[in-house]
Structure 1
Amino acid sequence: MFSGALKLADLQLSLRAAIAAGLAVVVADLLRLPYPIYAMISAVLVTDLSPLQTRRLGWPRLVATVMGTGIGASMNALLPSGLWTVAFGVAAAMLLSQLLRMRHAAKVAGYICGIVLLDHGEQPWAYAVVRMVETLLGIGAAMLVSLVPKLVEDKEPTP
């Protein structure tokens, strides 16, 4: 059932992700952003124990969000909404990511594009901009938390 005890690194990563998520949600609420969940998701996905790795994870996430929202909003203006438009948009965003050699960003670009196409409201570009702001907020929270030194160095190597 359980393969072993938790490592200190596991605890520290969980705490960092929780603090970054909480910070992102608080700031999103203060800014009255409509969907703080996207700030929270970005903060958790980008958080790592290493500040360098957090920055490495943040950059593709931000680029993927810009691509996904841009493609989604553009397609919304050009094509009728529906299943095929969503499927085409997800594929286009993922293929563009791969063509730009940002394979780690492909899935994020695809799902962000799909979100914009599914839930764009009456103003897809405004919705896309809000998605980008919320994502940037989450990445910023993760980077801010990553600057706090580890509480205790884990002596066991992490895989």
Structure 2
Amino acid sequence: MPTERLLLIIEDDAAFARTLSRSFERRGYTVLHAASQDEAAALLAQHNPGYAVVDLKLNGNTSGLSCVQMLHQHNEAMLIVVLTGFASIGTAVEAIKLGACQYLAKPSNTDDIEAAFGHIAGNTEVELTARSTSIKNLEWERIHEVLVETDFNISETARRLGMHRRTLARKLEKQRVK
């Protein structure tokens, strides 16, 4: 793990970012905050953080995956955790491929994120589920896979899935069924 405790939070929800920043500062981190990829790039020109927390979906339907890629290119040793309220297998796989060390579904707290920074090696002891994936989960995965392909463009995603835009919006507003 990096010795310098400089953390970059890329999160467009100002209240959540402020709460997360305060919590990490109490744990001895120096925290930088960016609400967009452009703001993060400007901070990277002046700083070299060892840690980053990236929201998967930023304002304007911008994908946090491009932020992960930028951060990893800036510093391959940076420990990057992706936080999302739109968790899917597709985005998790892409986040890891692009350089994230962990992918956490919201709500996650500072303890979860800090544990994720420390848990960068794989674990062969993870329990396998005996239950097959439900139709609702498969639909959820496919929707999010296409969302990633379209950079979170709702209209284009709906067109590719062959559904009305409002129908897709309603599905995305519903709580994920397990």
TM-score between both structures, scaled by the size of structure 1: 0.25
Higher strand share: 2
Instruction: Name which structure has the greater RCO, CA cutoff 8 Å, separation 6+.
Output: 1
**TM-score normalised by L of structure 2:** 0.23
